[in-house]
Structure 1
């Protein structure tokens, strides 16, 4: 492979395209990325990379990771991603899939995406039952005690999961919330093996939920598809019976990303 870190390579990339290529690379990697990785992959000079990273950070498109050296998506880049996947024609197709799942199960169906501090509800179709749990679009919920959040944590590399656990106090939302790091690690390992996650009154008393991942073509989690219900109507065991339907819906949502 030719060495791309040359003046010739840099002059081939238009100035107004360089920052976009950096943002694309950060989004594509799916993990925080070091400047040296960008130099290797894009072939831009070290001073150019550092200058563009500083600009992107100052404008909120990128932000420093916990190690202080790597960069991940910032609030403006995450907002851009949300607005992109919320475009009208994509949302129409997405809601049709959610509606079918919600109608088949008879409970509220949600599509959530990971943000830096928790999972955000991107779309939902409400149950027709008058007794329902209100979690509006845009609501952010914690990672460690929700079905969607634990599903996301199960896809992290061990080092990133350990970083999350060491940097965050596991707040008890209910008597059932897991707040022990080792116990949560064990559950997350099981989730990774099973391919689905549950919430048995861990986030809200009287609420049960189940979630499956929505993957992109590279096999990375981009969202979660979940269903939640009052426990007096559906407990976790009851929701597990619809796992096949959720997985089918997840596959259909993944196909929209192609």
Structure 2
């Protein structure tokens, strides 16, 4: 096998694994073939290798494939080894106790914005977390916080490469509207996603900066009927208080943050 063919095999394997992420009921070979546009023979070889390695499992009845608990345990072991969650979790827990709402942490990397930790509130009416997911830049509060830290030209470049996917009827799908929204974010210092990624959920996010660069974001979310203007202001105030007390220098060794003018294309989920 040449170096090129080996690299292609790795890329195809990750292509299959990314489709399996979140598919708790599994995916058929035919669906994988349709979604990857890879030949069935290639899909079968990839799945056989992953199955033998214990990274996927096959349902004996449906014969669908899904990621294994072994693969999940590997991810958790890696996250624990990073120790970044140990730094953030006490702050998240305090915010969850003070607000009663779900609070999540997202970090900025070159590859995108990722939700890596959460703390659940005590309020009985809760919303689903996005833990482990990649955040769409234009449709999430955390994404808009980061976009607002860029220039309009940088934002336009990102959007021109990736477009503005509609996740709900409330998602911003017009560039001019997005730029106006980001101007408001810059002015207020926080971002709101009003049912733009999840129907009936409003999220509010504030930045965590290091060396004047946005490297992470806190976000609280709740059912939309609870998120009055005064409630949003209260959540922003609490999050800002906690961020002010947080020692961002602890993050210096984790290589967080990304400036698009230092590299090429940014991939939007």
TM-score normalized by the length of structure 1: 0.61
Q: How many pairs were matched up?
A: 176
Say whether 1:256 aligns with 2:253: no
Say whether 1:131 aligns with 2:128: no
Q: Residues 1-258 of structure 1 correspond to what in structure 2 (within 5 A)?
A: 87-88=82-83, 90-115=84-109, 118-216=112-210, 218-235=211-228, 237-251=230-244, 252=246, 254=248, 256-257=250-251
Secondary structure in 2 aligned to 1:193? helix
Please report how far the alpha carbon of residue 157 of structure 1 lies from its aligned counterpart in structure 2 after TM superposition.
2.7
Please report how far the alpha carbon of residue 223 of structure 1 lies from its aligned counterpart in structure 2 after TM superposition.
0.5
- Equivalent pair of 2:96/2:122 in contact (CA under 8 Å): no
* Cα distance change, pair 133–236 in 1 and its aligned pair in 2 (3 A): farther
Please report how far the alpha carbon of residue 257 of structure 1 lies from its aligned counterpart in structure 2 after TM superposition.
3.3
* Cα distance change, pair 163–85 in 1 and its aligned pair in 2 (3 A): farther
- Equivalent pair of 1:211/1:226 in contact (CA under 8 Å): yes
Secondary structure in 1 aligned to 2:172? coil
Gaps of 5+ in 1: 1-58, 61-82
- Equivalent pair of 1:94/1:253 in contact (CA under 8 Å): no
- Equivalent pair of 1:151/1:213 in contact (CA under 8 Å): yes
Q: Deviations over 1:222-241 (max 9, x none)?
A: 00111011123334552222
- Equivalent pair of 2:79/2:85 in contact (CA under 8 Å): no
- Cα distance in 1 for partners of 2:123, 2:192 equals 22
- Equivalent pair of 1:212/1:225 in contact (CA under 8 Å): yes
TM-score normalized by the length of structure 2: 0.59
- Equivalent pair of 1:214/1:253 in contact (CA under 8 Å): no
Secondary structure in 2 aligned to 1:224? strand
* Cα distance change, pair 196–85 in 1 and its aligned pair in 2 (3 A): farther
* Cα distance change, pair 154–85 in 1 and its aligned pair in 2 (3 A): farther
Please report how far the alpha carbon of residue 256 of structure 1 lies from its aligned counterpart in structure 2 after TM superposition.
3.4
- Equivalent pair of 1:147/1:226 in contact (CA under 8 Å): yes
Please report how far the alpha carbon of residue 118 of structure 1 lies from its aligned counterpart in structure 2 after TM superposition.
4.5
- Equivalent pair of 1:112/1:121 in contact (CA under 8 Å): yes
Q: Calculate the aligned-residue CA RMSD, in Å.
A: 2.5
